[in-house]
Amino acid sequence: MRGYMVATWKMAWDGVKKGQEVLRAGGSVHQAIIEAVKMVEDDPEYHSVGYGGLPNYNGEVELDAAYMDGDTLGYGGIMGVKNLKNPIEVAFDLCHYKRNCLLAAAGAEEYARKKGYAFCDMLTEEAYLRYSRQTKQMDMEKLEAYGGHDTVCVIGKSGDTMACGVSTSGLFMKLPGRVGDSPVIGSGCYADSEVGAAAATGVGEDIMKGCLSFSVVEKLRQGVPVQQACETALREHMERLGRSGHRPGSISLIAMDREHNIGAATNKKAFPFVVGDLERNTVLYAAVNEGGKMSVICPDEAWIQAYQGD
Ligand code: SD4
């Protein structure tokens, strides 16, 4: 498949549609990506991004985000930030700087306040109820952060410019201060307009061990076709983790090359992703993994109805 935008999970559908409208109206690829991510951040229905994100062990929503401009290789990221309405805006802001482009916790919040970004209470009643039910059953000694994943990652291309934005509340019940792959350059995302862009969602600790987004982009640089680049990067990483005796959690990848070709791979059974295609349609696809053999399908209505995730 080929497209102008590709984004992780079914939840990105409305955002990709909005991003396409921005492009159609003459907006930049950066505006399109930011609008797409913000739609997911603002929607309380989605429990691992922005408002309504599930909290950490202390009941606080801690947010991570990143943005990479593939023309300049400018990279901005924030991590462990509380009560910031749209983390992606601040990550994008920071990608224009040569220094101080990755900010954590209080420092990132101070920067966002000074620049006038909106703050609000990001913990919804529903997220708090889920947290309360969970804490009753939990023993700190046995703490294992929730293994599901739904980070929103959006890659876009317009003209020759490629870019990528990522936003997440990380893993449910994570330890306070825990940071995953999402804001870490080359792990959660990477974009180089000369070559292509890639992004990852899943268990950050496992993704970071392979710097997986950078790994996919480097394969593109070597001339590997984009679908093969995603599959090979993931398979090699899984094999390496296997040799180390580590059993990784779920990992999924999306990528786009500079000819607008799109690839995706997952170690889950299925991983839905959304493409804003060259004919301006918004299309849901899924990478399906049957015993290590990957295929990309265009799911039918029954598949979509049966799908339980975000
Ligand atoms: C993380 N990669 O913090 C993120 C998790 C994720 O939905 O994808 N969450 O490790």
Q: Tell me the per-residue pLDDT of 123-176, one tens digit each, with 9 for 90 and over.
A: 999 999 989 888 766 665 565 556 555 899 999 999 999 999 999 999 999 999
CA–centroid distance, 251 to ligand 1, in Å, is 9
Look at residue 13 and tell me whether its pLDDT is greater than 90.
yes
For the Cβ of 180 lying below 6 angstroms from any atom of ligand 1, the answer is yes
Q: How confident is the model at residue 307 (pLDDT cuts 50, 70, 90)?
A: confident
- So what's the pLDDT on residue 148? 54
Q: What is the pLDDT of residue 144?
A: 59
Cα-to-centroid distance, 183 and ligand 1 (Å): 10
Q: Is the CB of 201 under 6 A from ligand 1?
A: yes
Is the CB of 202 inside a 6 Å radius of any atom of ligand 1? Answer: yes
Angle CA 257–184–97, to nearest 5: 85
Closest CA to 170 of 184, 186, 191, 160: 184
Q: What percent of the chain has pLDDT over 70?
A: 95
Report the 3 state secondary structure along the chain: CEEEEEEECHHHHHHHHHHHHHHHCCCCHHHHHHHHHHHHHCCCCCCCCCCCCCCCCCCCCEEEEEEEECCCCEEEEEEEEECECCHHHHHHHHCCCCCCCEEEHHHHHHHHHHCCCCECCCCCHHHHHHHHHHHHHCCHHHCCCCCCCCCEEEEEEECCEEEEEEEECCCCCCCCCCCCCCCCECCCEEEECCCEEEEEEECHHHHHCCCHHHHHHHHHHCCCCHHHHHHHHHHHHHHHHHHCCCCCCCEEEEEEECCCEEEEEECCCEEEEEEEECCCCEEEEEEEEECCEEEEECCCHHHHHHCCCC
Closest residue by Cα to atom 9, ligand 1, is 149
Find out whether 86 and 118 touch, Cβ atoms under 8 Å. Answer: yes
pLDDT at 150: 81
* pLDDT value for 295: 96
d(CA 23, CA 157): 10
Closest CA to 86 of 115, 106, 107: 115
Residue of 8, 151, 266, 282 with catalytic role: 151
- The answer to which of 10-14, 59-63, 134-138, 260-264 has the lowest mean pLDDT is 134-138
Angle at 260 between CA 256 and CA 265, to 5 degrees: 35
Q: For the chain, how long is the longest CA-to-CA vector?
A: 53
Q: Residue 149 CA: which ligand 1 atom is closest?
A: 7
Q: How far is the CA of 182 from the centre of ligand 1 (A)?
A: 7
pLDDT of 147 reads 53
Which residue's CA lies nearest to atom 10 of ligand 1? Answer: 204
Give distance in angstroms: CA of 279 to centre of ligand 1. 31
Query: Would the pLDDT of 1 be above 90?
Result: no
Q: Ligand 1: which atom is nearest the Cα of residue 188?
A: 2
Q: What torsion do the CA atoms of 187, 192, 89, 52 make, to the nearest 10 degrees? A: -40
Q: Which of 248, 257, 158 is nearest to 205 (CA)?
A: 248
170 lines ligand 1 (CB under 6 A): yes
Q: How far is the CA of 159 from the centre of ligand 1 (A)?
A: 30
Q: Which residue has the higher pLDDT, 50 or 310?
A: 50
- pLDDT at residue number 135: 79
Of 238, 225, 254, residue with least CA distance to 166: 254
